[in-house]
Every structure is written in structure tokens, then in C-alpha cells.
């Protein structure tokens, strides 16, 4: 079915909508549509059709649900969606009624959105982090992020699969696999991995199963699957988006963020997600620091910007490096001033980062279960470990639970070793890391390859990442945006922009300008495997 046919269906189903416009077109083009037509379109185009009475939220949601049946549950069987919201169509109808009354909440009004299945929803869906230990367990209430999106008028149509426990379960895990959800496939090559842990969110948006999705990141779990699935992903500054109601790994690094097919869509979603939350004290630090992300969607954002090229994150893949070198030329052509540099001290917090995550995972998981799932059959890390051992055929068929066991062996958050490790992380990732290099070279941002192209899924040996630029920003708690930069043998790779705390608007402006100058994204075609002849 081509795009015109989707539009025809939308017109036939559309009711007369309010004439009040909620979203001016950004100064640029949208990335090319795929075969899904309006389902591959972005927020702006979908809103314009709804405002013109040519589309309704109900019809748009219905079409996405049908596409999930034909692509996710049949056909290529991506397995990106772990659960459908049984109330999705009702919510969409409610948004249509509000629009007819000219009560439009904002740019996300009536827009279908997917949430990663570690984000609590106080509705009829479960919140499980992919674990059978929480299968069927409904959260006591919405996570703050979910509540913010509902208030913005978004239609939450379902939950996405993920690497179980956000990929903090085994040292030999397979990203995109969970005991509850199985394995999510990469829509650009079905035998390859989506990376993780926001695997389902990445595959779903790449394949046009919703307009937008929320991912979460501790270290790389938004930007890596976004890069590998040809998407824009934004990992915000720690404190810009509330962590409450998100099944945790570690409060010192965890954050939710948008995953979308364009910078404009990601920026609009980020604006809806931010806000101070009384249940999450760190959000008070972000009060008043959110930028005008809609205003940042303008061309010319690279002109005169000093950008540090983090050369110590190159060299893992020659073909990847060639793509990024071309991206650097594109940045220069848009007026950026490039400075070759390195992010210092990256080797000084690898071990201490893992230590901090283990300590915080044990404490934070127990706190989440107590508040959001007090009726669950597990209440702490020890219970989860015991559940997995009892149900090893379903939960441990491919890899173990070494990280859960190591976390259980840790003390509480008053343990001196934890405090030392946390201080070490903050020193070398912030003051003597990103802050230092940006100050010394008077930089507006750092750029590097987000990571390597997708690897073959391997249940025997586990994941084999091809390098990653995620850790400096993740450990520092600073913002990180990835944008499609091109392809290696038909597999997407991304260019990363990293900046100082709360510099999201600056990064969005640069990322948008780069995207508009290149428009690299192409919709996936769901091949069984990649052709080595494609470059």
C-alpha cells in the first residue's frame, strides 16, 4: 500500500477537526518516508493532516496496530512489541473528541507512542523489564514520564521489548532478548542485533510501528540501538527527565529519552517529557534548565560552532570511520570549526562504573518494587535470582545472571567502596573528562561515531559490540544525541553529538542542521541478511 492509499484511508476515516494549529513546520525537510506512507511520517505531517480533518488519531492508531500485526507479529516478525495497550483506541477517540472541541494539548496530541517495558504505566498493561518474574504485574501508578506524555495528549499504544533487566543481567547477554518477550530482530538485517537495551523501541520506530518511542539509558541503551536502527536518539542530562517509576539499574546514570525518525520529532517528544517531579529530587536541579527545543529546529545551527572530534573513539572499523569522515566534511561545509582532540581519562572509570551500577542496582530495584509493584512475587534482588533459578528453562536458556549475583553480593549505599567509585566516576567523566576537553579547546560539542554497525546475533558467544562513544556522557550524566550518518553494507551508523550539562538545545540545533544537510535515513526493507556487496 503506497502513501496515497494511506492518506485516502485517513481522509475517509477523518472527522472534522479543530482549525487551531498546534505546530508550525520546522525550517527543513523530513527524512524520506518508507513504504508505510503516513505511518512513516513524523509528528508535524501527522498533526497537519489531523488539523485539516484528513486524519484522526483513531484511524492513525488503528493503522499502526494493523501494521504491528502484519510486520511485528507476522511477516518479518520483528518481535519489537511486548504488549499492546487494550485502551489505545479509546484514548485515541478521546483525543479526537478534544480536538473536535478545539482543545488541543500540544504537538503530541493524538500521536501514537510506544514505551519501553521498564516504564511503569498505571493501566491494564504489565511493567516487567522483560522478566517473567514480573509478568502480569501492573504498576501501582504511572511513571512520571508516562504521566507527562499522557498530559501532552500522546496515545500510549503499547510497550516495547528490551534486553531483560535493561541488559544488566549477564556478562554474556544477547541484547534484545528477554524471558518474557523473546528476541527482537533488526529490521535492516533480520539476523543481526538491534543492540540494547532499548532494542524494541529502536526496531519499532525504524519499522514504522508508531510515531515515537521512549527508550531508557544507563550507558548506551538509547543511543546504541538508535544508531543501529537508523534513528535519532536523545540521552538527556541526568535530572532533565524524571527517573521515578522506571525499573532501574542505577540512579546516578539512568534516564529516559526519545527515539524517533527525525531530530524534530525527538525534540518535540523531549519537550513533553521534561519537568520537575516531587518524587525524584534530581529533577529539582534541572528546574528552569530545559531549553526551547522547538526553537532549536532551525538550519544554520553549525555555523561558527567549535566541535571537538574525539579521535580516541575512532579506529574500530575502517568502513565506519570512512562514513564519519564524510560526516565531518559535511559539518565543515555547514560552517563548523573542527578541532581534533581526545576525551581524557576514559580508561580511569570503566571498572568503577560497573561497581557503582552493581551497588545501585541492588538498592534501587528493591526501592522500585516496594513503591510500584508491592504485590509482585519478588521484592528484591535475591528474590529475582531465586526466581530465575527456579525457572531456568525459561529465564536462563542462553546466558546466566552474573550481574544480578554480583549486585546481590554488594553492601548498601553507605559502603565506602561505593562512595569512592562514584566519586571516581564523577571526577574523570566530568571535571577531568568532558568538562576539561571542552574548556581547553573552547568547544560547543564533541562528535564521534556512536558505535559500530549491527553484529550478527550470537546466542553462544553473546554480544560483540564494535566500540561505543556512550560511556563519557553516560557516566558524566551529560546529554548525547545520535543522528543517522550513513551505512556500512546497508547497516545504519550514527554520528554522536555530546555536550555539557543541560546543553540539549545547543546539541539539537547542531544535530538538526546536520540532519537537514544530509538526510541519510532510509526506511528498512527487512532483508534476511545483509549483502556484503552493498556499501
SS3 407: helix
197 given a catalytic annotation: yes
- Angstrom distances, CA of residue 140 to CA of 58, 154, 159, 374, 494: 27, 20, 17, 8, 37
Of the residues 54, 57, 59, 116, only one is catalytic, namely 116
CA–CA separation, 85 and 159 (whole Å): 8
Q: Are 79 and 121 in contact (CB under 8 A)?
A: no
136's grid cell: 502480569
Is 379 exposed, middle or buried (CB count within 10 Å of its CB: 0-12, 13-18, 19+)? middle
382's grid cell: 535475591
198 given a catalytic annotation: no
Of the residues 57, 199, 221, 242, only one is catalytic, namely 221
Please name the helix (run of DSSP H) or strand (run of DSSP E) that holds residue 512, with its range, or none. helix 504-518
Please name the helix (run of DSSP H) or strand (run of DSSP E) that holds residue 45, with its range, or none. helix 43-51
Q: Which of 445, 463, 441, 443 is CA-nearest to residue 454?
A: 463
CA–CA separation, 471 and 235 (whole Å): 12
Q: Are 485 and 323 in contact (CB under 8 A)?
A: yes
281's grid cell: 529530587
Helices 3-13 and 57-67: angle between axes, nearest 10 degrees: 140
Q: Are 480 and 267 in contact (CB under 8 A)?
A: no
Residue 497, preceding bond cis, omega within 30 degrees? no
116 given a catalytic annotation: yes
Query: Cβ neighbours of residue 301 under 8 Å, at least 6 residues apart?
Result: 509, 510, 512, 513
Query: Cβ neighbours of residue 52 under 8 Å, at least 6 residues apart?
Result: 17
Return the DSSP state at 31.
Answer: P
CA–CA separation, 149 and 154 (whole Å): 5
CA–CA separation, 232 and 264 (whole Å): 9
535's grid cell: 556499501
Of the residues 189, 197, 201, 352, only one is catalytic, namely 197
Residues designated catalytic: 116, 197, 221
Amino acid at each position: 500500500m503506497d502513501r496515497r492509499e494511506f492518506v485516502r484511508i485517513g481522509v475517509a476515516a477523518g472527522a472534522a477537526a479543530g482549525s487551531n494549529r498546534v505546530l508550525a513546520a520546522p525550517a527543513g525537510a523530513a527524512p524520506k518516508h518508507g513504504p508505510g506512507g503516513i505511518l512513516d511520517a513524523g509528528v508535524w505531517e501527522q498533526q497537519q493532516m489531523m488539523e485539516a480533518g484528513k486524519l484522526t488519531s483513531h484511524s492513525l492508531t488503528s493503522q499502526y496496530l494493523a501494521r504491528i500485526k502484519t510486520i511485528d507479529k507476522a511477516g518479518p516478525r520483528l518481535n519489537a512489541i511486548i504488549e499492546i495497550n487494550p485502551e489505545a483506541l479509546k484514548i485515541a477517540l478521546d483525543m479526537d473528541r478534544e480536538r473536535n472541541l478545539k482543545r488541543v494539548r500540544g504537538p503530541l496530541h493524538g500521536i501514537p507512542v510506544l514505551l519501553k517495558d521498564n516504564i511503569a504505566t498505571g493501566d491494564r498493561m504489565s511493567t516487567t523489564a522483560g522478566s517473567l518474574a514480573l509478568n502480569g504485574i501492573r504498576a501501582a501508578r504511572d511513571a512520571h514520564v508516562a504521566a507527562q506524555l499522557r498530559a501532552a495528549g500522546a496515545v500510549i499504544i503499547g510497550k516495547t521489548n528490551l534486553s531483560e533487566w535493561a541488559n544488566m543481567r549477564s556478562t554474556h547477554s544477547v541484547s534484545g532478548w528477554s524471558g518474557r518477550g523473546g528476541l527482537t530482530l533488526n529490521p535492516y538485517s533480520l539476523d543481526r542485533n538491534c543492540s540494547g537495551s532499548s532494542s524494541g523501541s529502536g526496531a519499532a520506530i525504524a519499522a514504522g510501528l508508531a510515531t515515537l518511542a521512549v527508550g531508557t539509558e544507563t550507558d548506551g541503551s538509547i543511543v546504541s540501538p538508535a544508531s543501529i536502527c537508523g534513528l535519532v536518539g536523545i540521552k538527556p542530562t541526568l535530572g532533565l527527565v524524571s527517573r521515578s517509576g522506571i525499573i532501574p539499574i542505577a540512579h546516578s546514570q539512568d534516564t529516559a529519552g526519545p527515539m524517533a525518525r527525525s531530530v524534530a520529532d525527538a525534540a518535540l517528544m523531549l519537550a513533553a517529557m521534561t519537568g520537575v517531579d516531587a518524587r525524584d529530587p534530581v529533577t529539582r536541579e534541572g528546574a528552569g534548565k530545559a531549553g526551547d527545543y522547538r526553537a532549536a529546529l532551525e538550519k544554520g545551527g553549525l555555523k561558527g560552532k567549535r566541535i571537538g572530534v574525539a579521535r580516541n573513539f575512532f579506529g574500530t572499523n575502517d568502513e565506519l570511520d570512512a562514513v564519519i569522515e564524510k560526516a565531518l566534511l559535511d559539518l565543515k561545509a555547514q560552517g563548523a570549526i573542527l578541532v581534533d582532540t581526545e576525551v581524557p581519562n576514559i580508561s580511569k572509570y570503566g571498572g568503577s562504573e560497573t561497581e557503582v551500577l552493581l551497588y545501585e542496582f541492588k538498592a534501587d530495584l528493591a526501592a522500585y518494587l516496594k513503591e510500584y509493584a508491592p504485590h509482585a512475587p519478588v521484592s528484591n534482588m535475591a528474590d529475582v535470582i531465586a526466581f530465575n533459578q527456579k525457572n531456568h528453562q525459561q529465564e536462563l536458556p542462553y546466558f546466566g545472571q552474573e550481574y544480578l549475583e554480583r549486585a546481590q553480593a554488594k553492601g548498601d549505599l553507605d559502603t565506602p567502596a561505593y562512595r569512592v567509585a562514584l566519586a571516581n566516576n564523577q571526577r574523570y567523566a566530568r571535571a577531568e573528562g568532558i568538562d576539561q576537553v571542552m574548556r581547553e579547546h573552547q568547544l560547543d560539542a564533541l562528535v564521534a561515531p556512536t558505535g559500530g554497525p549491527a553484529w550478527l546475533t550470537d546466542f553462544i558467544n553473546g554480544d560483540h559490540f564494535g566500540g561505543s562513544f556512550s560511556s563519557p556522557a553516560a557516566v558524566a550524566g551529560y546529554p548525547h544525541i545520535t543522528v543517522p550518518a550513513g551505512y556500512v553494507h546497508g547497516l545504519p551508523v550514527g554520528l554522536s553529538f555530546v555536550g555539557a550539562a543541560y546543553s540539549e538545545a545547543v546539541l539539537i540545533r547542531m544535530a538538526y542542521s546536520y540532519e537537514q544537510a544530509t538526510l541519510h535515513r532510509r526506511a528498512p526493507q527487512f532483508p534476511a541478511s545483509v549483502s556484503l556487496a552493498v556499501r
